[in-house]
Protein backbone atom coordinates (compact mmCIF):
# COMPACT_ATOMS: atom_id res chain seq x y z
CA UNK A 1 0.00 0.00 0.00
CA UNK A 2 1.39 3.43 -0.91
CA UNK A 3 2.07 6.01 1.76
CA UNK A 4 -0.87 8.43 2.28
CA UNK A 5 -0.33 11.97 0.98
CA UNK A 6 -1.26 14.97 3.15
CA UNK A 7 -4.07 15.74 0.68
CA UNK A 8 -5.75 12.31 0.99
CA UNK A 9 -9.07 11.98 2.90
CA UNK A 10 -8.46 10.66 6.39
CA UNK A 11 -10.17 8.63 9.07
CA UNK A 12 -11.31 11.96 10.58
CA UNK A 13 -13.29 12.77 7.40
CA UNK A 14 -15.08 9.46 7.96
CA UNK A 15 -15.83 10.42 11.57
CA UNK A 16 -17.24 13.77 10.40
CA UNK A 17 -19.36 11.92 7.83
CA UNK A 18 -20.48 9.36 10.44
CA UNK A 19 -19.04 6.56 8.29
CA UNK A 20 -17.19 5.29 11.36
CA UNK A 21 -18.19 5.76 15.01
CA UNK A 22 -16.55 8.03 17.54
CA UNK A 23 -17.37 9.21 21.04
CA UNK A 24 -18.40 12.74 20.04
CA UNK A 25 -18.49 15.31 22.86
CA UNK A 26 -19.14 18.51 20.87
CA UNK A 27 -20.26 19.51 17.38
CA UNK A 28 -21.19 22.69 15.57
CA UNK A 29 -21.20 23.83 11.94
CA UNK A 30 -17.43 24.37 11.88
CA UNK A 31 -15.94 21.66 14.04
CA UNK A 32 -16.22 18.38 15.88
CA UNK A 33 -14.68 17.13 19.14
CA UNK A 34 -14.42 13.47 20.10
CA UNK A 35 -12.48 11.25 22.50
CA UNK A 36 -9.10 10.00 21.29
CA UNK A 37 -9.15 6.25 20.59
CA UNK A 38 -5.77 5.86 22.30
CA UNK A 39 -5.90 8.27 25.26
CA UNK A 40 -2.66 9.33 26.92
CA UNK A 41 -4.46 10.86 29.92
CA UNK A 42 -7.86 10.54 31.64
CA UNK A 43 -9.07 13.40 29.42
CA UNK A 44 -7.87 13.21 25.81
CA UNK A 45 -10.18 14.85 23.30
CA UNK A 46 -9.48 15.77 19.68
CA UNK A 47 -10.90 19.01 18.30
CA UNK A 48 -10.99 19.09 14.50
CA UNK A 49 -12.29 21.52 11.89
CA UNK A 50 -14.81 20.10 9.44
CA UNK A 51 -12.76 21.79 6.73
CA UNK A 52 -10.04 19.26 5.80
CA UNK A 53 -6.90 21.29 6.50
CA UNK A 54 -4.14 18.62 6.51
CA UNK A 55 -1.66 20.30 8.87
CA UNK A 56 -1.57 23.53 10.88
CA UNK A 57 1.10 24.81 8.47
CA UNK A 58 -1.41 24.41 5.61
CA UNK A 59 -3.81 26.89 7.24
CA UNK A 60 -3.99 30.35 5.68
CA UNK A 61 -5.27 33.80 6.58
CA UNK A 62 -8.74 32.77 5.48
CA UNK A 63 -8.72 30.21 8.32
CA UNK A 64 -8.00 32.82 11.00
CA UNK A 65 -11.51 32.87 12.48
CA UNK A 66 -11.77 29.07 12.28
CA UNK A 67 -8.48 28.63 14.15
CA UNK A 68 -9.66 31.00 16.88
CA UNK A 69 -12.90 29.08 17.10
CA UNK A 70 -11.04 25.78 17.55
CA UNK A 71 -9.18 27.28 20.51
CA UNK A 72 -12.42 28.40 22.15
CA UNK A 73 -14.01 24.98 21.55
CA UNK A 74 -10.92 23.40 23.15
CA UNK A 75 -11.57 25.61 26.20
CA UNK A 76 -15.19 24.53 26.24
CA UNK A 77 -14.58 20.78 25.95
CA UNK A 78 -11.84 20.99 28.61
CA UNK A 79 -14.25 22.77 30.95
CA UNK A 80 -17.03 20.29 30.18
CA UNK A 81 -14.62 17.44 30.97
CA UNK A 82 -13.78 19.06 34.32
CA UNK A 83 -10.21 20.09 33.48
CA UNK A 84 -10.84 23.69 32.42
CA UNK A 85 -8.13 25.11 34.69
CA UNK A 86 -5.35 22.60 33.83
CA UNK A 87 -5.06 21.09 30.40
CA UNK A 88 -2.60 20.96 27.52
CA UNK A 89 -3.44 21.85 23.93
CA UNK A 90 -1.16 20.05 21.44
CA UNK A 91 -0.87 20.21 17.67
CA UNK A 92 1.55 17.75 16.09
CA UNK A 93 2.45 19.38 12.78
CA UNK A 94 3.98 17.02 10.22
CA UNK A 95 5.45 13.55 10.29
CA UNK A 96 8.62 14.76 12.01
CA UNK A 97 6.47 15.96 14.92
CA UNK A 98 4.55 12.65 15.16
CA UNK A 99 1.47 13.75 13.21
CA UNK A 100 -0.16 10.51 12.04
CA UNK A 101 -3.56 11.72 10.81
CA UNK A 102 -3.33 14.44 8.18
CA UNK A 103 -6.44 16.35 9.14
CA UNK A 104 -5.67 19.23 11.51
CA UNK A 105 -6.51 18.33 15.11
CA UNK A 106 -5.90 19.80 18.53
CA UNK A 107 -5.29 17.33 21.33
CA UNK A 108 -6.92 18.48 24.60
CA UNK A 109 -5.10 16.55 27.31
CA UNK A 110 -5.70 16.67 31.04
CA UNK A 111 -6.85 14.91 34.17
CA UNK A 112 -3.38 13.97 35.38
CA UNK A 113 -0.16 15.80 36.26
CA UNK A 114 1.50 16.81 33.00
CA UNK A 115 5.29 17.05 32.71
CA UNK A 116 7.26 19.68 30.80
CA UNK A 117 9.00 19.52 28.39
CA UNK A 118 7.04 16.84 26.52
CA UNK A 119 9.02 14.02 24.91
P1 LIG B 1 -1.47 12.65 15.82
O2 LIG B 1 -0.37 11.70 16.16
O3 LIG B 1 -1.22 14.05 16.40
O4 LIG B 1 -1.76 12.70 14.34
O5 LIG B 1 -2.76 12.13 16.57
C6 LIG B 1 -3.72 11.33 15.98
C7 LIG B 1 -4.59 10.84 17.08
O8 LIG B 1 -5.79 10.33 16.50
C9 LIG B 1 -4.01 9.70 17.92
O10 LIG B 1 -3.86 10.16 19.27
C11 LIG B 1 -5.03 8.59 17.85
C12 LIG B 1 -6.24 9.26 17.27
N13 LIG B 1 -7.02 8.41 16.37
C14 LIG B 1 -6.56 7.80 15.25
N15 LIG B 1 -7.55 7.12 14.65
C16 LIG B 1 -8.66 7.34 15.40
C17 LIG B 1 -10.01 6.91 15.28
O18 LIG B 1 -10.41 6.19 14.37
N19 LIG B 1 -10.88 7.32 16.25
C20 LIG B 1 -10.49 8.13 17.28
N21 LIG B 1 -11.40 8.49 18.17
N22 LIG B 1 -9.22 8.57 17.41
C23 LIG B 1 -8.32 8.17 16.49
Contacts of 8 (CB under 8 A, 6+ apart): 102
Residue 13 clears pLDDT 60, i.e. is over it: yes
Strand partners, 89: 108
With a 6 Å cutoff on the Cβ, whether 34 touches ligand 1 is: yes
The string of DSSP codes covering 12-40 is HHHHHTTSS---EEEE-SSEEEEE-SS-S
Task: State the closest ligand 1 atom to the C-alpha of 20, by its place in the atom list counted from 1.
Answer: 18
Beta strand 31-35 pairing with 43-49: antiparallel
pLDDT digits (tens, 9 = 90+) for 68-107: 999 999 999 999 999 999 999 999 999 999 999 999 999 9
Alpha helices per DSSP H over the chain: 11-16, 64-80
Predicted local confidence at residue 7, as pLDDT: 59
Q: How many residues does the chain have?
A: 119
Active-site residue flag, 105: yes
Q: Is 106 in the pocket of ligand 1 (CB under 6 A)?
A: no
In CATH terms, the fold of domain 11-110 is HIT family, subunit A (3.30.428)
User: What digits encode the pLDDT tens for the residues 16-68?
Assistant: 999 999 999 999 999 999 999 999 999 999 999 999 999 999 999 999 999 99
Global pTM value: 0.95
Amino acid sequence: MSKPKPSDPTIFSKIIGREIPADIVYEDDECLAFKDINPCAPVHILVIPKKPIPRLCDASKEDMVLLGHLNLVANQVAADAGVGDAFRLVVNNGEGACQSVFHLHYHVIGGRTLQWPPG
